[in-house]
Amino acid sequence: MKTYDLRSDTVTKPTPAMRKAMAEAEVGDDVYFEDPTINKLEAMSAQRLGKEAALYVTSGSMGNLIPLFINAGRGTEVITHANSHIIQHEVGAMSAIAGTLPIAVDSPRGLLEAKTIEPYIKPVAYDLARTAMIEVENTIGGICYPLQSLKDIRSLADRYGLKVHLDGARVFNAAVATGVDIAEIAANADTMTFCLSKGLGAPVGSVLCGSKEFIAKARAVRKMIGGGMRQAGILAAAGIYALEHNIDRLAQDHDHAKLIAQALVKTGWARVALTDVETNIIFFSVAGVPGKKVVSVLGSNGVLCSGDGDTIRLVTNLDLSSEDIADVCRRIDAIDPKEFVQ
Ligand SMILES: Cc1ncc(COP(=O)(O)O)c(C=O)c1O
């Protein structure tokens, strides 16, 4: 039986065309600024996001850590959603390395609003930690930020002299799903990271964008934390290929996610918030069944997914064709709910 991997959009493998671009990449020592392919990826990224400069980094986590280190830093507070990746999945780097204190805000669907954030901004006083940054994640759990919310957060940050970092691991999904230009989204953040290794299908790498002054500092911090790379143009070439070929097709992943969500709704045993399936991520649960059991039942039917507590996550991706998705939907439909109690 064929197995379909929907655990994440990070599981995709580079296509032959992407591998060809990698094999043919011109390279040099990037620590000496001499890798033409990395230089090209950084210039393309900055231009696309409407930022002055960009830096190729090893991962989304590194792309989030560097701005936390530079624009927030030791003893400062960073306001972010309680479910944000920087709090939940980055090994505490925001505190352990950047020295910041996360102020975790809970709000519906992972989306922060200026009015929800404002009460958490500390007044300036000698005995209080300074609020330095607001960090937003777009998409968060596959849900897109309304552009107006980002604009309001920007205005709030400006009023209080705060920096805004946008964790845009999947921001191209947001741009494609909402039809808002990526530069319009990025305009609301001082710094923004996007991942090449998720929906865009590259094997590695993220890009951090910001002002020229910020990126010069970021290059030094990247080196300090061991992220200076040499002939990594061979990897950056995959990123260029991804930016040139794999953005518009994200719409297909989003359509696929909706089809799976609808198939889950039809089963009667799955609880899905259909309207929250805005991009390539589907969350669902099965009443009274532990997540681990649901993951194992779907897995035994050849559909790999991931579970956290009672919540199951499926992520559509580049490696799954429309035929694959149709088969996934058939397999979901064929599951006998008795399998959950055996
Ligand atoms: C929203 C978000 N931000 C950041 C990251 C970190 O990316 P990486 O795994 O490349 O460090 C991820 C990874 O899944 C993510 O989902």
How many whole angstroms from 166 Cα to the centroid of ligand 1? 12
pLDDT, tens digit, for every residue of 241-300? Answer: 999 999 999 999 999 999 999 999 999 999 999 999 999 999 999 999 999 999 999 999
Q: Is 342 a residue whose pLDDT tops 90?
A: no
Task: Answer whether 137 contacts ligand 1 (Cβ < 6 A).
Answer: yes
Average pLDDT over residues 71-75: 98
User: Using a 6 Å cutoff on CB, does residue 245 contact ligand 1?
Assistant: no
Q: At what angle do helices 16-23 and 233-245 cross, to 10 degrees?
A: 140
* The listed CATH number (3.30.70.260, 3.90.1150.10, 2.70.98.60, 1.10.357.10) that belongs to domain 249-340: 3.90.1150.10
Q: How confident is the model at residue 103 (pLDDT cuts 50, 70, 90)?
A: very high
137 C-alpha to ligand 1 centroid (Å):
10
178 Cβ inside 6 Å of ligand 1: no
Q: Are 218 and 16 in contact (CB under 8 A)?
A: no
Asked if pLDDT for residue 12 goes beyond 90, the answer is: yes
On the question of pLDDT at 226 being above 80, the answer is yes
| Average pLDDT value for the chain | 97
Tokens representing 274 are 């259909």
Q: What is the pLDDT of residue 182?
A: 98
Residues 115, 144, 93, 220: is their CA dihedral positive or negative? negative
- Residue 210: pLDDT band (50, 70, 90) is very high
195, 198, 207: residue to mutate for ligand 1 pocket, most atoms within 8 A of CB: 195
Per residue in 146-193, pLDDT (tens digit) is: 999 999 999 999 999 999 999 999 999 999 999 999 999 999 999 999
- What pTM does this model have? 0.97
Predicted confidence (pLDDT) at residue 18 exceeds the cutoff of 80: yes
Cα 60 to ligand 1 centroid, rounded to whole Å:
5
Q: How far is the CA of 300 from the centre of ligand 1 (A)?
A: 28
**CA dihedral of residues 180, 181, 185, 187 (deg, nearest 10):** -140
**Domain assignments of the chain as residue spans, ordered by start:** 16-245, 249-340
Please report which confidence band the pLDDT of residue 308 belongs to, taking 50, 70 and 90 as the band edges.
confident
Those residues whose C-beta lies under 8 Å from the C-beta of residue 331, and which sit 6 or more positions away, are: 301, 302, 303
pLDDT at 165: 99
36 three-state secondary structure: helix
Phi then psi for residue 303, to 5 deg, are: -120, 105
Ligand 1 pocket mutation, candidates 57, 61, 87, criterion most atoms within 8 A of CB: 61
- Which pLDDT score is estimated for 45? 98
Predicted confidence band at 324 (pLDDT cuts at 50, 70, 90)? very high
Q: Are 176 and 254 in contact (CB under 8 A)?
A: yes
Class of domain 16-245: alpha beta
For residue 315, give both structure tokens.
């992520």
